[in-house]
Structure 1
Amino acid sequence: MQDSLSRDARLALDLALTIRHDGHGGVADDLVGPAGLTAWVHAHPDTVADPAGFVAEDTALAAVRDVRAAVRALFAHAVRPDEPSPADAARLMPVHQAVERLNAAAARTPTVPVLHWSDGAEPEEHRQAAQGPGELTAVLAQAAIAFLAGPDRQRLRACHAPRCVRYFLKEHPRQEWCKPSCGNRARVARHHERHKRAA
C-alpha cells in the first residue's frame, strides 16, 4: 500500500517520521542539525529544485522543524479520539496555531508569470512557483495540507506499541501497529504484564 500513496501523503508522513524510536527506549530526531536535513532532502529529491546541490542551513532547519511540529500536532488531532503518538502527547501546539503555521509556510513560495510561446501557437501565460529560500518549507507544508484535506487522512493512526512514536496509514481493518516488529513488541509486553499480574 505504501507504493500507492500520493506524493503528498508520502512527504507528509516521511516528514512526521523524522521523529522516531531510537532503538534504546528513547526518541531520535533525524533533523537534529543541518546535516540531518541535508541528508533527508537528498533522500527526498522532489522537495527542492536542485536536490544534489542542496545544503541545509540553520534557518532552513528551523523552518522545516516548525512545519514538522505543526504536521505532528495536526496528525495528533486527526487520529482523535485515539491518543496521539507518545512523542507528542506532552508538547502539542494548539490546533489553530498548527493550522496557521502550516498555512504560512505553504504561502512562502510565490508564483511568477512564465511565458510559453510555441511555433504556430498564441503566447500563453502560466503561473509557476518561484524557486527560493522558502521553497522547501512551502513544498512540505503544501504536501501536508493536501494529505490532511484528502481521503488518506481517515486511515492515519498513531502506533501505540511500546516505545514506538510513529504515525502510519492503516492498510487493513485489523492493523493496529505501524509494522510487524511493533506488533511483536506489543504482544510480548502484554504477555509479560499478564504473567506479572498472575504472580
Structure 2
Amino acid sequence: MKEAVTAPATPPPPPAPGADRYLALDFANSLLTNPGGEVDLLGTPESASRWLAERELAPADGRLYEPCTDRLRALRGPVRALLAARVDALVPPWQALAAVNAALTEAPSAALLGWDEERGLHRTPAHPSEEILAHALAVLAADAADLLTGPDAELLAACGSPPCTRFLLRTHGARHWCSTRCGDRVRAARAYAKRTQAKAAAKSAQHP
C-alpha cells in the first residue's frame, strides 16, 4: 500500500470548484490522490499550521503540535465519509456524524480568568494552541453541516478522473472532474481507448 507523502512532487491542482465557498470542501480535499500516490496537505504540524493560517482559521504565527495535528486529520476522515455518503445517496456513517457533532460542541465558549504581575487580571484560554484548534475544528464542522444540509448539497460530486479522490460542486451538469488536469486525463484516456478500439476493429477486419 502506498503511503501518503507530505510534500507533492508536483504542485497540487488548484482548489476544486466550490472550495472557495466551503472551507469543509477544501478541508476534505487536503488529502488528495494523484497518479504518483497520496499527498497529505496536513501531513506535518508545519503544513497543517500553514493550511489553517492561509484560511484565517489560526494566527499566522500560530503553531500546531503533533497531537493537535492528529486531531485535525482525525476530523477530515469523517467529513470525507459524510460527503461521500451524500454523493452516493447512502446512509451516513453514525461514527462520522458523531465526530462532526463532537467538533461542533468542542470549541470553548469562554476564556478563563487569569492573573500575572505584568497584566494583572486578564482573560486567557486554558491552553492557547488547543483553543485555536478547537475553534478551527468547530468552524470546519459547522461548514460541513451547512454544506450537507443546504441547497448546494445537490451539486456535490466526486471527481470522475481516477485516481483523484477530491470532491467538488458541479458548475454545470456535464462537469465531473475537479480540475483541468483531471479533465485532460479523462479526455486522454478516452482518446486512447478510442484508438485502441479502432486498431482492434481494423485488425479483426483484416483477419476475420
Matched residue, 1:26 = 37
Matched residue, 2:28 = 16
TM-score by length of 1: 0.73
Q: Is the 8 A contact 1:27 1:165 kept in 2?
A: no
Matched residue, 1:101 = 99
- C-alpha distance after superposition, 1:148-186 (max 9, x if no partner): 121111111000213222110001122121122212210
Deviation at 1:197, TM superposition (A): 3.7
**CA–CA distance in 1 between the matches of 2:190 and 2:18?**
32
> Closer, same or farther in 2 for the Cα pair 1:15/1:166, shift >3 Å?
same
Deviation at 1:27, TM superposition (A): 1.5
TM-score by length of 2: 0.70
Instruction: Report the AA paired with residue 52 of structure 1.
Output: A
Matched residue, 2:71 = 63
Matched residue, 1:89 = none
**CA–CA distance in 2 between the matches of 1:102 and 1:34?**
21
Q: How does 1:8-157 map to 2 (within 5 A)?
A: 9-22=21-34, 24-45=35-56, 47-48=57-58, 51-81=59-89, 95-112=93-110, 132=131, 133-157=133-157
Q: Which protein has the larger Cα radius of gyration, Structure 1 or Structure 2?
A: 2
Deviation at 1:5, TM superposition (A): 5.9
Work out the number of aligned pairs and report it: 165
Q: Is the 8 A contact 1:25 1:163 kept in 2?
A: no
**CA–CA distance in 1 between the matches of 2:179 and 2:49?**
27
Unmatched runs of 5 consecutive residues or more in structure 1:
83-93, 114-129
- C-alpha distance after superposition, 1:76-104 (max 9, x if no partner): 1010159xxxxxxxxxxx71100001100
Unmatched runs of 5 consecutive residues or more in structure 2:
1-14, 112-125, 201-208
Deviation at 1:194, TM superposition (A): 2.8
Q: Is the 8 A contact 2:155 2:169 kept in 1?
A: yes
Matched residue, 1:160 = 160
> Closer, same or farther in 2 for the Cα pair 1:5/1:188, shift >3 Å?
closer
CA RMSD of aligned residues (A): 2.6
Q: Is the 8 A contact 1:41 1:54 kept in 2?
A: no
